[in-house]
Amino acid sequence: MNEQQRIRRERLRWHSRRALLELDLVMRRFWQSQPELLDDLQAEQLECLLAMEDHDLWELLSGRQEPADPALQGMVALLRQPTGF
Amino acid sequence: MITVRKFDAVIVGAGGAGLRAAIQLSEAGLKTAVLSKVFPTRSHTVAAQGGVAASLGNSEEDHWHWHMYDTVKGSDWLGDQDAIEFMCRKANEVVIELEHYGMPFDRLDNGRIYQRPFGGHMSNFGEKPVRRSCAAADRTGHAMLHAMYQRNIKANTQFFVEWLALDLIRDAEGDVLGVTAMEMETGDLYAFHAKATIFATGGAGRIYYSSTNAFINTGDGAGMAARAGIPLEDMEFWQFHPTGVAGAGVLITEGVRGEGGILRNSQGERFMERYAPNAKDLASRDVVSRAMVTEINEGRGCGPNKDFVLLDITHLPPETIMKRLPGIHEIALQFAGVDALREPIPVVPTCHYQMGGIPTNFKGQVVVPGKRSQNEIVPGFYAAGECACASVHGANRLGTNSLLDLLVFGKSAGESAVDEMKQSPKPHKELPTDAFDRTLERLNRLNTQKDGASVHETQLAMQRSMQKHAGVFRFADLLKQGVQKILEVQKDVERTEIKDKSQVFNTARVEALELDNLIEVAVATMVSAEARKESRGAHVRDDAPDTPERPDGRDDVNWLKHSLWFKDENRLEYKSVNLRPLTVDTIALKKRAY
Ligand SMILES: Cc1cc2nc3c(=O)[nH]c(=O)nc-3n(C[C@H](O)[C@H](O)[C@H](O)COP(=O)(O)OP(=O)(O)OC[C@H]3O[C@@H](n4cnc5c(N)ncnc54)[C@H](O)[C@@H]3O)c2cc1C
């Protein structure tokens, strides 16, 4: 990982700190399970999702809504899981 | 190298309290900086759903004096009655103001703000539940932050987003002259040199293992204040929310019980009828939490380990659930794996709210004991919101009173700072030569630490100790051991090591610096809790028996006083509770029953 990628990753990690515990839990699970897998495209998708308002993001990750942009479907699926906390 | 920037006022925190204070300062034309470690509308205030209390009386008769009575009673008489009167009287004003800022409150058919009942809020001095909570669907906190953020943008407040405040700057006379901070994007250090410094950094609920709080609630303001010699008040009092989803901690809002949800034990019994015959499931939070833990301890818990109770909404019409409580269904599904329309939700009392904090008066000015009085003002220093202790919540906060607290005291802290600067204009006091020492020492220690402790492991050790030794029910021997344990954890915090030493956007460093703050709050909590030998509000000791002189173990003769914990030698001092309201009669001490 070069410095650019490291910074991008770190920023994403920080932006995974949310106002809602629900999202913190989902994002922690993500970072624990996908440590090195993030490629540039996935990073971009994650950036889009993390730029959302907390409640809207939670609607998406809890399955109440589907992403408006179908390109985000893959990342949303990765973040979603039914139970297991 | 530290770059100094000058402002009239620096506010640390862009949640409800910080944004409300900033409006006051910027609209008065003062040059105001607001620092936040996350984007303002991602502050924890966003999580608040239940609403904000105000005796508007839109649905039925209500009065600020009844609200005041409920708050004093809720606080188990540890709240200062001047501050409580001030807050309850100001409630309508700040809520209407918020409406004018564009807050989209739920409305009645006649256009007025819709109000719902909430635990502990009663009409006519404790007679029966009253509808006092104003909400914007289940996004009250979120809507509030948006409205206030927009207002700040208009008023030219300068935001420093993803900046981490590190330490308070005080001079030899004890005056506060600003803060040091790190810009996360670059890792560069700055000093914000200001005539007024306002802390609005929120709570520290992450000191516990099981918490409804998001990860961001690390008590930074309390930690910075403690390191700078400011005591922390009433830190033994933590509210456990009765209904955290068992295992995950995620909160199920009290609004669920407001709309008719019922708590049941393993026998299906609505047990709150036994503990609080009038208010039942809507009794004050500590009363409900204690009842739940009693049910569990006496073997009437549910599940294979009998370690939770059930919150039942299956009797409510699905339309009501979906309309008034839209998020609950998903939370239950995601974090408990149950369909709440058909099955009850497993819940346990979970750490939720910090009643104590940086001591202030009702003007939002930070006060400490001094030679002349027990409440001497610290020049230039203000605090509001969950990081502060005014003290309106005393030993136990009522739901919806916290959003009110941050509006009222955010505003009054801002007002006090404006008054001070306008009435006696002075240039900036010079920064002392040692202004940055504490910060530089901390960073240097962290950068050079060898063979140190893991931040993650140390944080877990702290959280587990707090959970085990200072939970809902407290025991003398566990508290004693807890003090030893937490002091050991503190030693590890002093030698945390991070592997990644990079300068730019280093989240490991941020987390280590946050842990420095969490541990101050944890130690303050444990030491203050061990010392308080009575039960009051959220602090419930097994060895404080219920006797006629000491109902529920509350000992007004010896313990009707605020704790003040000083970092220096873990010293405790006490100060008296202000039982004198501003204009009305004292709400006299009596047993707290619902
Ligand atoms: C799930 C949940 C639901 C709740 N519901 C309700 C409710 O319905 N009604 C109610 O009255 N109360 C409710 N509460 C309580 C209430 O939400 C909080 O007490 C309140 O929002 C705290 O607001 P605040 O402005 O003090 O702090 P926060 O909103 O937590 O803001 C803290 C700010 O400080 C900043 N900050 C912190 N440290 C630093 C640092 N070192 N450097 C820079 N910036 C920093 C953060 O970035 C943030 O902007 C709820 C709490 C929870 C957990």
Per-residue pLDDT at A83 = 45
Q: How confident is residue A36, by pLDDT bands cut at 50, 70 and 90?
A: low
Is the shortest distance between the CB of B406 and ligand 1 below 6 Å? yes
CB contact under 8 A, B216 and A19: yes
Is the shortest distance between the CB of B36 and ligand 1 below 6 Å? yes
The closest CB to that of A19, out of B42, B505, B506, belongs to B42
Using the 8-state DSSP alphabet, how is residue B282 labeled?
A: G
Per-residue pLDDT at A82 = 53
Interface contact B506, partner A, CB < 8 A: yes
Using the CB atoms, write b or e for B180-198: b if 16+ within 10 Å: bbbbbeeeebbbbbbbbbb
CB contact under 8 A, B162 and A14: yes
* Contact between B568 and B229 (Cβ < 8 Å): yes
Q: Give the helix/strand (H/E) hosting B267.
A: none
Told to judge if B285 belongs to the known catalytic residues of this protein, a careful annotator would answer yes
Q: Which amino acid is at B477?
A: D
Per-residue pLDDT at B395 = 97
Identify the residue whose C-alpha is closest to ligand 1 atom 35: B13
Among chain B residues, CA nearest to A27: B215
C-alpha B297/C-alpha B60 separation (Å) is 39
User: Among the options B131, B285, B324, B397, which is catalytic?
Assistant: B285
- Output phi, psi for B202, to 5 deg: 80, -170
CB contact under 8 A, A21 and B162: no
DSSP letter for each residue of B203-215: --GGGSSSBSS-T
Is the shortest distance between the CB of B532 and ligand 1 below 6 Å? no
Q: List the one residue out of B400, B396, B323, B321 whose CA is nearest residue B133.
A: B400
CB contact under 8 A, B335 and A20: no
Task: Chain A: give the shortest CA distance to residue B568, in Å.
Answer: 32
What are the tokens at B515? 């842990």
C-alpha A7/C-alpha A4 separation (Å) is 5
CB contact under 8 A, A18 and B330: no
Q: Taking each helix axis from N to C terminus, what angle separates B507-531 and B455-469, rounded to the nearest 10 degrees?
A: 20
* Contact between B436 and B180 (Cβ < 8 Å): yes
The closest CB to that of A21, out of B212, B327, B507, belongs to B212
Ligand 1 midpoint to CA B407 (Å): 12
Using the 8-state DSSP alphabet, how is residue B159 labeled?
A: E
Which residue is associated with the tokens 């000191």? B207
* Contact between B285 and B399 (Cβ < 8 Å): yes
Q: List the one residue out of B349, B239, B353 whose CA is nearest residue B295.
A: B349
Is the shortest distance between the CB of B219 and ligand 1 below 6 Å? no
Is the shortest distance between the CB of B265 and ligand 1 below 6 Å? no
C-alpha B200/C-alpha B386 separation (Å) is 7
Reported as half-sphere exposure (CB side, CA atoms, 13 A), residue B302 has a value of 19
Q: Which residues of A touch B246 (CB under 8 A)?
A: none
Ligand 1 midpoint to CA B202 (Å): 5
**CA B29 from centroid of its chain's CA atoms:** 30
CB contact under 8 A, B42 and A54: yes
Which residue is associated with the tokens 């269904």? B329
**CA A64 from centroid of its chain's CA atoms:** 16
For domain A3-83, the question of CATH label 1.10.150.250 is answered with: yes
* Contact between B554 and B76 (Cβ < 8 Å): yes
Interface test with B, best of A5, A8, A22, A32 (most B CBs within 10 A): A22
Task: Chain B: give the shortest CA distance to residue A69, in Å.
Answer: 22
Is the shortest distance between the CB of B138 and ligand 1 below 6 Å? no
Q: List the one residue out of B87, B2, B25, B12 whose CA is nearest residue B52.
A: B87
C-alpha A65/C-alpha B281 separation (Å) is 32
| Domain-wise residue ranges, chain A | 3-83
Identify the residue whose C-alpha is closest to ligand 1 atom 53: B213
Dihedral, CA of residue B305, residue B308, residue B314 and residue B320, to nearest 10: -150
Angstrom distances, CA of residue B38 to CA of B12, B185, B215, B363, B435: 11, 12, 12, 27, 25
Beta-carbon pairs below 8 A across chains A and B: 87
What are the tokens at B535? 């039960």
B576 burial class (0-12, 13-18, 19+ CB within 10 angstroms)? exposed
* Contact between A36 and A70 (Cβ < 8 Å): no
Per-residue pLDDT at A84 = 45
Beta-carbon contacts of residue B587 (< 8 Å; ≥ 6 apart): B68, B69, B72, B73, B77, B81, B581
Question: Sheet harboring B561-566: ordered strands across?
Answer: B232-233, B561-566, B571-576
Per-residue pLDDT at B149 = 98
Per-residue pLDDT tens digits for B289-344:
889 988 988 999 999 989 899 999 999 999 888 887 878 888 998 899 999 999 99
Atom of ligand 1 nearest to the CA of B402: 11
Q: Taking each helix axis from N to C terminus, what angle separates B64-74 and B81-100, rounded to the nearest 10 degrees?
A: 130
Angstrom distances, CA of residue B49 to CA of A74, B99, B152: 30, 17, 22
The list of chain B residues with pLDDT below 70 reads none
Beta-carbon contacts of residue B84 (< 8 Å; ≥ 6 apart): B68, B71, B72, B75, B392, B581
The closest CB to that of B507, out of A10, A18, A82, belongs to A10
Q: How confident is residue A39, by pLDDT bands cut at 50, 70 and 90?
A: confident
Q: How confident is residue A37, by pLDDT bands cut at 50, 70 and 90?
A: low
Q: What is the ipTM score, two decimals? A: 0.94
Per-residue pLDDT at A3 = 86
Mutate to test the pocket of ligand 1, among B43, B139, B218 (most ligand atoms within 8 A of CB): B43
Beta-carbon contacts of residue B132 (< 8 Å; ≥ 6 apart): B53, B54, B55, B56, B62, B67, B115, B117, B118, B121, B400
Interface contact B137, partner A, CB < 8 A: no
C-alpha B179/C-alpha B181 separation (Å) is 6
Is the shortest distance between the CB of B12 and ligand 1 below 6 Å? yes
